[in-house]
Amino acid sequence: MNRMREAWLGLVIVGAIVVAVVGTLWLEGSSFGQSQRDMEAVFEEVGLIRPGNPIKLRGVEVGRVQEVSVDSGGAVVRLSFRVDEDLVLPEDAVVILSPESMFGDWQAEIVPRSRFPAVAYAQPWEPGVLPGGALPDISELTHTADQIAVNLGVLTDRMGIAFSDETARNVASMIDNIEAVTQRLSALVTQQADSFTGVTERVQMAVDGIGSAADQATATLERVDELLAQDDVASTLEDMAVIAANMRDLSGDLQGTNAEIRQTAARADSAFARADAILTRMAAGEGTMGRVLENEGIADDLQATVVELKVLLTDIRENPRRYFSLSIF
Amino acid sequence: MSIILDDVYKAFGPHEVLRGFSLEVRDGETLVVLGESGSGKSVALKHMVGLFSADRGEVWVDGRKLRDLPTEELYELRRGIGYVFQFAALFDSMTLEQNVGMGLRRIGGLSEQEIAKRVEECLAVVDLDGLGARYPAELSGGQRKRTGIARAIAARPKYLLYDEPTTGLDPVTKAVIDQLILRMKKELGVTGVVITHDVDSACLVGDRIAMLYRGRRRFLGTPDELKATVDPVVKGFIEGRPELMEETE
Amino acid sequence: MTERLLAPFTAIGRAALSLASGIGRWGVFAGDTVRSLRHVDVWGRLLLEQMSRIGADSVPIALFISTFTGVVLALQASYTFTGAIPMYFVGVLVGKTMMLELGPVLTGLALSGRVGANIAAELGTMRVTEQVDALETMAYPPLAYLVAPRVLAGIIMFPIVTVLAVGIGVVSGWLTSLQLLDMSTAEFLRGLTLFFRPFDVVFTVIKATSFGLIVTSIGCYFGFHTRGGAAGVGQSTTRAVVASSMVILVLDAFWAVVLL
């Protein structure tokens, strides 16, 4: 075999080894030349995160997940990741796991704890290991909606004592509607593998449901307005009318394109902020309605619900597409 | 020490080629096996180097039974046997030198210079000196056949087996090959087995001649005895008169 | 009459028997080849030559095929992903498909034509011109001399050629995305790295190695058992290519079931 052929053979072999090794390392996200350091975080549960997924800080990729393993004892999941050497962590840093896009790829984000205070973080017992948590998934959103429905149901029962039967029926009907919406959302979640078009249709149906529920709510609130003319109750009801209007807007926006969901989420957020304010007043025993609810602990439940909803809305703003998640690969 | 075929049977599927063929090759002689085309001469020859193994009967080479021989020893034994193939069976991708040197390289213990020297000698013996760098495709049929002989003698074998050495050659080339076979015996002292259907060649190069007919040995004797035979089958074959050979068994 | 009715079944039975006995004989052949590996002195010197012929010389055809495969994959992916699916999925599809499926399989099929046919024809010719017997008489074990270096070269070089083909295929898909699809490099790379696992490369190598074994050993098997002159050589060559192509596809499915 002559020298040229030997050289060519050698070149082919070396070339292939270089392609395989460098390609693998590069696609895995190793950074050449740049010095990196290893870090760890612990979680109660890690969803779909796996080695190779990006680590982000303020939206910028700063490293990659190296290893995911259940800690000895099985109490927590330990996530090892490698970040740029000179990375400066935020004050009281935690690691939040969430889907990066609607296609099932996840990311881990280093954030200050204050950004998602409501999330339950797993607490590390060694120094240098970050606490970690996962943002609620869509299944948790529907679960929360279920919880709202239950709380509203209890509320309606209480109101049934104070108000006329008709009002009670209207409120009950509104709640039924919300429950129907919730069920549709649940169905939507269970059928994530459907085509994108299918999902959009379902979202549309759900949105229509929310719309009619909002109308129902408005009618109910008007009826309540007629029945209760006291000042403090009237101002409460005004607030609730604003909520209803916001809800209508919300449903209208949902019917628009997905791109506008950020705006929608903002509106919903302000709607819930108002609801929060009302409930705070109720809890403080202001007004008749507040008094009705005062001793029953329902207000506390509702308040907790609203906190959860706020976390969820933040999440919707951050990752709009995860609520239309479907898996292709 | 010699090559002995003892009552060898060989069939390929339903086709029985050898049916109790026996033959003893004596040291130093050139034994010719005559026979019609397709009579199983080549098959018999291949039994002598273990390329085929007998269905029944035994083959002995230098007192060793080929059937019981482990592979390594069989290869060892083959180094003492040169085999000249009908169409030379040269390796197309190699030059004549490389072809002739193949067997030597396998033996080992020889330096490249020694191998080159031996190859040159062997090519000289068959009058092909100077053509060592050529490839088989560049040669005539006669030259290829001579290269085949050079390759067979390169390892200085004790036995040389020729498979139809003159078939398909023009009369002049044929005469050259016949002379070569005689020279091999005279100059190298090898024991030869020649397979042919050419009676003239057989009588020229053979000390003894055997005839293979329908899987068995029909005749064994000197060339003179062959010419004097009264066996109608043998007579019919050497005189080219098929009508004489038509006998029922 | 009965005979005519039974004819199709007879044919099926015969085909099944011949397939089973063929696989059995190939197995014996493979076993003998493995045993012949002890003659390192015989095949050792020939390995580099065969690696060069089987592997290095196959690089141009493999790269040619994978270049166009990469282009087509990128274009078809973008055509399929209109609207709903983000364009970076072109990178996912090109990368995954090249690594897991098309790289190894197309290279395997192309090389079964180039390498398998070449081996079958070469060994077949050597068989019918008694060159194999000549090796035997010169004390060269033919399996060690002819088969072992080719099969080993196939096992070593197929993954190497395939890795290069995959690399070029991905690069051509990337260039296509850049030039014809108005995608950015960052977008393509995002898709490429999104679902990448190092196991993908291992999978490619496992597949390609098995294809190398199959193509070369089947080529050797049919070449080695050639009978009957030029027509026999032609028949062996055809059989070698058909059989190795079929086995490649079956193995492809097998690995997908077992490893994915």
- Residue C196 with chain A: CB contacts under 8 Å: 27-28, 52
What is the Cα B205 distance to its own chain's centre? 12
Q: Which of A142, A139, A87, A138 is closest to A109 using CA atoms?
A: A87
| Per-residue pLDDT at C218 exceeds 50 | yes
Selected for mutation to probe chain A from C66, C174, C196, C260 (highest A CB count within 10 Å) is C196
Chains C and B physically touch (3 or more Cβ atom pairs below 8 Å): yes
Strand partners, B8: B21
Contact C201 A15 (CB under 8 A): no
**What's the N-to-C CA distance of chain A in angstroms?**
47
pLDDT digits (tens, 9 = 90+) for B6-52: 899 999 888 889 998 989 998 889 999 998 887 888 899 999 998 88
Selected for mutation to probe chain C from B52, B84, B92 (highest C CB count within 10 Å) is B92
Selected for mutation to probe chain C from A2, A5, A12, A101 (highest C CB count within 10 Å) is A12
- Looking at residue B136, its pLDDT comes to 92
Chains interfacing with B (3 or more CB pairs < 8 Å) = C
Contact B89 C129 (CB under 8 A): yes
Contact A12 C159 (CB under 8 A): no
- pLDDT > 70 in chain C, percent: 98
- Which candidate from B50, B85, B106 shows the least CB-CB separation from C130? B85
CA distance A278 to chain C (A): 41
Q: Does residue A18 belong to the interface with chain C, where contact is any CB pair within 8 Å?
A: no
pLDDT in single tens digits along all 329 residues of chain A: 678 888 899 999 999 999 999 988 888 766 666 778 888 898 888 877 877 788 888 888 888 888 888 887 778 888 888 888 888 888 888 998 877 655 556 788 898 888 877 777 888 888 888 888 876 554 454 455 555 555 555 554 554 444 445 554 555 555 555 555 555 554 544 444 343 444 445 555 555 555 555 555 555 555 544 544 444 444 554 555 455 455 445 444 444 434 444 444 455 555 555 555 555 555 454 544 444 444 444 445 445 555 555 565 556 555 545 544 333 32
Residue of B nearest to C35 (CA): B71
Chains interfacing with C (3 or more CB pairs < 8 Å) = A, B
Where do the structural domains in chain A lie, given as residue ranges?
36-134, 138-324
pLDDT digits (tens, 9 = 90+) for B71-124: 888 888 888 899 999 888 999 889 999 999 988 888 878 888 999 998 998 898
- Which candidate from B50, B103, B108 shows the least CB-CB separation from C138? B103
Cα–Cα distance for residue pair C177/C190, rounded to 1 Å: 13
Query: What is the count of residue pairs from B and C with beta carbons less than 8 Å apart?
Result: 52
Q: Does residue C234 belong to the interface with chain A, where contact is any CB pair within 8 Å?
A: no
User: Radius of gyration (Cα) for chain A, nearest Å?
Assistant: 26
Residue of B nearest to C127 (CA): B89
> What ipTM was estimated for this complex?
0.88
Cα–Cα distance for residue pair A266/A268, rounded to 1 Å: 5
User: A180 is written with which tokens?
Assistant: 């129907």
C187 contacts: CB under 8 Å, gap ≥ 6: C87, C88, C91, C177
**What's the N-to-C CA distance of chain B in angstroms?**
35
Contact C56 A12 (CB under 8 A): yes
